[in-house]
């Protein structure tokens, strides 16, 4: 019996060896080596952009005096208000108008720990921008790229001081460009983003993935509407910011041209109704009775197609052209009246401080 069992085992072993030799795929394979951690791709990060831009984003605080019936003297109140961006190594800082408009004293806290008093250079309520100046050496300056054009879908980062928590970075995309009529203070041309911009972020930087400034964040829309705006935030474009900043530095205020018209954009249906062969321009809906346009002979329903040799495309373009013309300048305005072209000379005036309506 044992001899039979031994022969059976021997025969089985011989058979298994023959099968393994004949069929190599049945042999045990060598262990599979796992990829090393060094071979893994680097995680997606915007650290480079934040490192370039964040040192130039400052926290802004104000000190103001408030009268209190229970105290014989005004009470000094210090509070965190918002953010600002260092635009020049000469110490010029851009922030929002509403951040510093009511301040008796402005204090700027840099990310390197320096705390400095700031001088108010100028305010512009219409664009919700203000310029401050600090005196210090070795200031970090925000990177800029004048050739960059913001486009829907671009990734952006908002850097600021929300709720006085300290510097914070949020992430999103450009949701829309050229949003107008969204400002607490009047018409504005905004970048819309879904990056979170909360109270305290006002005046901070909106940058691209290279850390280059593309806009100044503002919470004025939230203040104007007083509603939750999750995923809907706004920034003042860099091009507008730098233009206003230079005017405030030069004059302490923004001197704007004004001709005193109100208008709306023309569309193909309206062009047909007004016997116009083109759709570029605006239709005059009203005029200030004492404004330059009224005195020059403009009439309601005139279609403005060109100002000072520049083509009018829409309401915003009229606003941009007129406000950039120095008051006292004589310009020719091309219009269509009853379908016929006319040239009307107009002397541009200084925009009244009370004017906050679009297209002047």
Q: Where are the beta strands (DSSP E) in the chain?
A: 57-66, 75-86, 92-95, 105-109, 115-124, 129-133, 155-160, 168-180, 189-193, 205-207, 213-218, 233-237, 257-258, 261-265, 282-287, 303-307, 310-311, 330-337, 340-347, 349-350
Query: How far, in Å, CA of 258 to CA of 343, rounded?
Result: 18
What does the pLDDT read at residue 160?
Answer: 93
Dihedral of alpha carbons 177, 181, 182, 188, sign: positive
What does the pLDDT read at residue 51?
Answer: 95
Average pLDDT, the chain: 81
User: Could you tell me the pLDDT band of residue 6, with boundaries at 50, 70 and 90?
Assistant: low
**What residues are labeled active site?**
98, 128, 202
Tell me the average pLDDT across 119-141: 94
User: Could you tell me the pLDDT band of residue 352, with boundaries at 50, 70 and 90?
Assistant: confident
Between these two residues, 131 and 18, which has the higher pLDDT value?
131
What does the pLDDT read at residue 69?
Answer: 67
Is the confidence at residue 133, as pLDDT, over 90?
yes
Candidate ranges 204-208, 228-232, 303-307; pick with highest mean pLDDT: 204-208
Is the confidence at residue 159, as pLDDT, over 90?
yes
pTM assigned to the model:
0.75
What does the pLDDT read at residue 183?
Answer: 47
Q: 192 and 233 in contact (C-beta within 8 Å)?
A: yes
User: Could you tell me the pLDDT band of residue 184, with boundaries at 50, 70 and 90?
Assistant: very low
């Amino acid at each position: 019996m044992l001899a039979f069992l031994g022969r059976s085992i021997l025969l089985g072993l011989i058979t298994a060896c023959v099968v393994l030799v004949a069929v190599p795929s049945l042999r045990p394979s060598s262990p599979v080596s796992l990829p090393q951690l060094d071979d893994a791709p680097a995680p997606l990060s915007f650290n480079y952009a934040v490192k370039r831009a964040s040192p130039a984003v400052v926290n802004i605080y104000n000190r103001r005096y408030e009268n209190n019936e229970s105290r014989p003297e005004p009470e000094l109140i210090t509070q965190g208000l918002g953010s600002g961006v260092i635009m020049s190594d000469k110490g010029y800082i851009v922030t929002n108008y509403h951040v510093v408009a009511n301040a008796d004293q402005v204090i700027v806290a840099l990310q390197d720990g320096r705390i400095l008093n700031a001088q108010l250079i100028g305010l512009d309520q219409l664009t919700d921008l203000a310029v401050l100046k600090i005196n210090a050496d070795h200031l970090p300056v925000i990177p800029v790229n004048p050739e960059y054009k913001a486009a829907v879908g671009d990734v952006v980062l908002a850097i600021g001081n929300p709720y006085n928590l300290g510097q914070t970075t949020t992430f999103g995309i450009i949701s829309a460009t050229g949003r107008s009529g969204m400002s607490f203070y009047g018409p504005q041309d905004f970048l819309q983003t879904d990056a979170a911009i909360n109270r305290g972020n006002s005046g901070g930087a909106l940058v691209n993935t290279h850390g280059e400034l593309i806009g100044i964040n503002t919470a004025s829309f939230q203040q104007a509407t007083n509603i939750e705006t999750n995923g809907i935030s706004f920034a003042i474009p860099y091009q507008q910011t730098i233009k206003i900043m230079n005017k405030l530095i030069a004059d302490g205020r923004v001197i704007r041209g004004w001709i005193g018209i109100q208008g709306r954009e023309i569309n193909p249906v309206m062009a047909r109704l007004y016997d116009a062969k083109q759709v570029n321009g605006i239709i005059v809906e009203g005029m200030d009775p004492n404004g330059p346009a009224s005195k020059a002979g403009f009439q309601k329903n005139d279609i403005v197609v060109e100002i000072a040799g520049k083509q009018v495309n829409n309401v915003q373009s009229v606003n941009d052209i007129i406000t950039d013309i120095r008051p006292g300048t004589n310009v020719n305005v091309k219009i269509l009246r009853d379908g016929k072209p006319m040239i009307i000379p107009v002397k541009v005036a200084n925009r009244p401080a009370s004017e906050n309506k679009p297209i002047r």
